[in-house]
Amino acid sequence: MFFSILTPYHESKPRTTPRQVAVRNRVILDVEIQAEYTTMKQVAKLIIVDHEGKYLLMYRNAHPNFGNDPDLPGGTLEEGELPLGTMIREAQEEAGIDISEHAVKHLYGGTAYSVRQTHYSLFIATLEYRPTVTMSWEHSGYEWLDRDAFLEKAKNAADTYMQMVYDILK
């Protein structure tokens, strides 16, 4: 089943400061590590699996480079953020889903899949329920897919991030 709901974008949670992210993620950053996190573009996204083993796949809303390509909740790190904090914030902003840091597992972090040396971080959360999805303007639709269908769409996506998802999960 495919859903398409466009809702106005609004910020439902205040942005976190570098200190809040460091405390929430239980990470103490030294100057050298923090400098690395602020000089390179970084993207953090989340695979969400519900209690029936269905994977949430969202579709971009006329993205300038990827059109209506498949996508996951997530986005670009803001100044002072760590990948885990970004992924939690973006899942709420883009899909209306609140994710606990304890519910996620880190699957990948690196630049190997990016043609522009963007640092990709990929997380997965397997939930005991199917969350209600409330999309922002960034996505035009979504669907819950079984693993094989999810992997097939990830493999055929234009975005190298989704191709990375395929490679990691296959």
CATH number at residue 98: 3.90.79.10
163 has a pLDDT exceeding 80: yes
Structural domains of the chain, count: 1
Q: What was the pLDDT predicted at 32?
A: 39
139 and 73 Cβ atoms separated by less than 8 Å:
no
Structure confidence by residue, pLDDT tens digits, 124-137? 999 999 999 999 99
User: From the centroid of its chain, how far is CA 58?
Assistant: 10
CB distance 118 to 111 below 8 Å: yes
Overall average pLDDT of the 93-104 stretch: 94
What range defines the domain where residue 36 resides? 2-169
Q: With a cut of 50, say whether residue 29 has pLDDT above it.
A: no
Whether the model pTM is above 0.85: no
Q: At what angle do helices 160-169 and 147-155 cross, to 10 degrees?
A: 140
